[in-house]
Amino acid sequence: MSVRMTIGPGRAPDAVRPVLLPLAVFAGIRALCLAVLAGWAYASDRSARELLSMRWDSLWYVRVVEHGYDFTLTAPDGRVLSDMAFFPLLPWLERTVTALTSLGPADAGLLISAVASMAAAWGIFRLVEHFYGSRTALFTVALWAALPVSIVQSMAYSESLFVALSAWALYAATVRRNWPLAGLLASLAGLTRPVGLAVTAAVWVAAALAWRELAEPGASGHSAARKRILLGAALAPLGAAGYILWVGQRTGSLLGYLDVQGAWGNGFDGGLAFARFTGGLITGPTPFAGVALLVGVLLLLRLCWACVRQGQPLPWLVYGGIVVALALCSSGYFGSKPRLLMPAFPLLVPLAAALARTRAAAAWAVISAAAAIAAVYGAFWLHGSGPP
């Protein structure tokens, strides 16, 4: 369901409100998280700016901006870690902003993340609003902003940029049926993170459904429509495929990108490493942590099923399912899995719909509590020793 409002005398506030409200809610939650981080950093004699822009993955993006793809680091166990594990769109944008402004690459990354996170919030709102109404869409944005790991949305990381491209690609494919735009955005998402595969698959599924509709009796404009569908489907994988082929050329192996990721420990093993990790916690000295992790995974799978029962568009289900599968079934650093799940915003829609049916005071109390937890946890997380 889409909300439409007519602009007339005395109606300007009503016309502007649907645009501003989700962005204001999102910005308010982000401001709370940043304020708590700044206070914590001040009390710890540290720099909130450096915590957000000069740690872990952020440093690797800065190195790409400054030196190109030629940096490697030898880990204590002898593994050679290459910066080619990091996809190029964010460092390209950082280099562009640096060239156009007086900002350094790290600060450029913060600016890009801030703009992209607002674009992501607006894209999520527009997408969910079309199918489930403005109230559910607003709570979806609020829940996404208040995820426990949402501090990443304000870091010089690629998550906000990826979610912005993903949300608008899904909007272009499932709402606007603008196939060239959907393919272009999917291609850019593929240049941002390896999970760009999820966006490409979603666009392909949406394109296949649209193609099937053209075969129905009474359908018109077959030739032009099919050309647009084919163009969008062809564009969608080009970003990821182009980068992976380039890495293969640099490494001298067609599967060179897999070798690069393997050195980082980021292989795909169907979840065996994650299962061993969880089992080790349960049978080790911290069984409660293992049980809590197992319960968390079961709740996540329950959310996936809730999306199916809610009747979400098939491209959404494909997108969210692939994001979840890649996060849970990779063998990478287990502390990063909550961050890797952050792009799966369709999983929040059933929860948002439940909040939309609740009294406003109770619903916003839940959002406020979640935002407070996210603010404290985010500050605690960034002051720790491990990467998010």
Please compute the mean of the pLDDT values over residues 114-140 and round it to a whole number.
97
State the pLDDT at residue 330.
87
Q: What is the CA radius of gyration of the chain?
A: 21
List the domain boundaries for the chain: 17-263+359-382
State the pLDDT at residue 17.
60
CA dihedral 30, 34, 36, 38 (to 10 degrees): -170
Residue 266: band (very low, low, confident or very high) from pLDDT cuts 50, 70, 90:
confident
Residue 195: band (very low, low, confident or very high) from pLDDT cuts 50, 70, 90:
very high
What is the number of alpha carbons within 13 Å of residue 307 lying toward its C-beta? 24
Lowest mean pLDDT: which of 251-255, 302-306, 346-350?
251-255
With a CB cutoff of 8 Å and minimum separation 6, the contacts of 169 are 182, 185, 186, 189, 199, 202, 203
- Distance (Å) of CA 76 to CA 71, 80, 81, 84, 123: 17, 10, 11, 19, 42
Three-state DSSP at 330 gives: strand
Closest CA to 157 of 45, 241, 61, 78: 61
Instruction: Name the amino acid, one letter, at 126.
Output: R
State the pLDDT at residue 96.
98
Q: Is the pLDDT of residue 382 over 60?
A: yes
State the pLDDT at residue 12.
44
State the pLDDT at residue 167.
98
Axis-axis angle for helices 196-214, 314-328 (nearest 10) = 160
Query: Of all helices (H) and strands (E), which one includes residue 294?
Result: helix 287-309
Instruction: Name the amino acid, one letter, at 324.
Output: V
Three-state DSSP at 253 gives: coil
